Amino acid sequence: MDAILTTYNGVEFTIGAAILEFSYLLAAILFVYGLKLLSRPETARKGNFWAAAGMVLAMVTTILLHTDTAGNYIPGGNAIVIIITVAIGSVIGLLISKRVKMTAMPQLVSIFNATGGIASALVGLLEFSNPGNESLLVTLLGLIVGSVAFSGSMIAYGKLDGKVGNISAGIMKYVNFIILAAIIGLTIYIMFQPNPQDVSLMVYILFAAALAYGVLFVMPIGGADMPVVISLLNSLTGIAAAFAGFIYNNQAMILGGILVGAAGSILTLLMTKAMNRSLINVIIGGFGGGGAATGDEGGIYKEISVSDASILLAYSKKVVVVPGYGLAVAQAQHTVHELEKLLEGKGVSVKYGIHPVAGRMPGHMNVLLAEADVSYDKLVEMDEINKEMETTDVIIVVGANDVVNPSANDHPGSPIYGMPVINAEKAKNVIVMKRGMGKGYAGIENPLFFRDNTRMLFGNAKDSLQKLVNEVNTL
C-alpha cells in the first residue's frame, strides 16, 4: 500500500494515502448530505444514517490506512486494540440508547457531549509531550475546550437528573472570571517557553483549571436555561474535536468537528434569541433559580371536571395543544395523539404549539411527539401558532409552565420579561393540566392559571388525557 502513485511538486503520494484522502472527501460529502436531511423532520432519520455512514467510513479507513506525515502507510499498529475498544463502546452506547427513557434524553445528550469533550481533552494532554507536535496552540486549545465541555456536561447531566442543585450566581461570576483569566495566563506562559515540554506540570494545572471552570460556569445556571447550555456544550464538543483533527491532520475530524461546532453555535444563538436574552446573560445571569413574577401574582384558580372538559373539546372547532416537560415525564405523548385523532374524527382541528425551549433540550417536544407518530405538519412553531390564538376555541397546556407565562409580556419586573412565549391567554378557553399549583422550572409564578378563561385539570397528565379520551369517545 505504500507504492508511489504519483509525484506532484516533489511530494510523493502513495496509493494508501490517496485512498485515505478520497475516503475523507466522501465522508465529508456524507456529513453535509446527512446534515441537509436533518433539517427536515421527515428526512431526519435518513440524515442520521448517512452521517453515521460517513463517520464509519472515516474511522475504518483511518484505522486500516493510517499514514505518517510523509504519507507512508503504517501497517498494523494498534488497530486491533482500537477496533476492540470501539466495539465495546458501541455496544455500551447501543444498550444505553435503547433503554433510556424519553424524559432522560437530555441527560443522555449531556453524557455524549461529555465523552466527546474528554476524548478531545485527552488527545491534547497526550500529544502535548510528543516531540513531533508542531501545533502547540491548537493542542492547548483542544485541551481547554474539551475539558470545559466534559466537566460542564457532567454538571448539566447532574442538574437535569436532579442530582446537582443550583448555587448563587452572585460571587461565582467573579470566581469564574478569575479562573478564566488564569487559564488564559497559563496558556500564554506555556506558549512562550523555549521548550514547552519541560513545563508539563503547568499543562496538568491548566487541565485541572479548565475542568474546574467547566463545573463552576454551569453550576449557577438555572433550570430554565438548560436547553441553551446543552446546545452550547454540544458546540464546544464539536470545536474540541476539530482541534483534535488539526493535531492529527485528520480532515474528517476537522470537518466533522466544524459542522458540530457551527450547528451547535447557530442553535445556541437562535435559542437565546427565542428567549430574548444574550448568551453572556445566560452564562452569568443565573436565570431560573427563583423569584416571582410581579403584578398578577397568586389569585383564585378555577378547576374543571373531565366531563366538562371533554364536552368543551368535542364541540370546539379549533384546539391547540402546548406540550411541556410534564408531558414527557408522564409519557403521555401516545395518549395525547389518541385524543387528537378522536377530536379530528368529530371535525375538530387540532394542532400543537411548540416553543423553542420547551422541555429540557432543543427539539425535545418535536422528538417526543414524533415518537407517537404525530404528523409533522401539526407541529407549529411559536410565532405561527401565536397568530392563531385569538381564533382558538381551546388551548390545552400539558405539563408546560414558563413557555405560556404571560408575565413575559405584561410584567417588566418579572425575570422572564421580554422572553417570547406562546400567548395562551388570548385563546377563548384555556385548560391547564398539572399535578398541582407548583411553580415551573424557572421557579416563578404563572398568572395564566388565575385568568378568567383558564381552568385547571389536576392530576397525572397521562391519566387525565386518558380520561378525556374515554369521555370524548362516549359523546
SS3 78: coil
The contacts of residue 146 (CB under 8 Å, 6+ apart) are: 116, 117, 118, 119, 120, 121, 122, 123, 124, 236, 237, 240, 243, 244
Indicate the angle between helix axes 226-248 and 105-127, nearest 10 degrees.
30
Whether the CB-CB separation of 30 and 51 falls below 8 Å is answered with: yes
Would residue 19 be called left, alpha or beta, if left means φ above 0 and alpha means ψ between -120 and 50 degrees? alpha
Q: Are 400 and 360 in contact (CB under 8 A)?
A: no
Q: How wide is the angle at C-alpha 438 spanned by C-alphas 432 and 444, nearest 5°?
A: 95
Contact assessment for residue 267 and residue 231, using Cβ atoms and an 8 Å cutoff: yes
What DSSP element (H or E) covers 220?
Answer: none
**Best CA proximity match to 396, nearest among 347, 346, 335:** 335
Catalytic position from the list 377, 402, 410, 463: 402
Would you state the cell numbers that stand for residue 402, as one nine-digit string? 414558563
Q: Give dist(CA 27, CA 439) in Å, integer.
A: 47
Cell of residue 392, nine digits: 382558538
Instruction: Locate all alpha helices (DSSP H) within 387-448, ordered by sequence.
Output: 407-410
Q: CA-to-CA distance for 69 and 273, rounded, in angstroms?
A: 44
383 catalytic? Reply is no
Strands (E), 256-361: 318-323, 349-354
8 Å CB contact between 251 and 384: no
In the numeric block, the cell 467547566 is attached to: 214
Q: Helix, strand or coil for residue 325?
A: helix
Mapping DSSP to helix (H, G, I), strand (E, B) and coil, where does residue 218 land?
Answer: helix
**C-alpha radius of gyration, the chain, whole number:** 26
Cell, residue 446: 404563572
Report d(CA 124, CA 122) in Å as an integer: 5
Kindly state the cell numbers that stand for 437: 399549583
Q: Residue 291 and residue 443: Cα distance in Å, rounded?
A: 6
Cβ 420 vs Cβ 276: under 8 Å: yes
- CA distances 116 to 120, 122, 285, 319, Å, are 6, 10, 27, 42
User: Which residue numbers are catalytic?
Assistant: 402
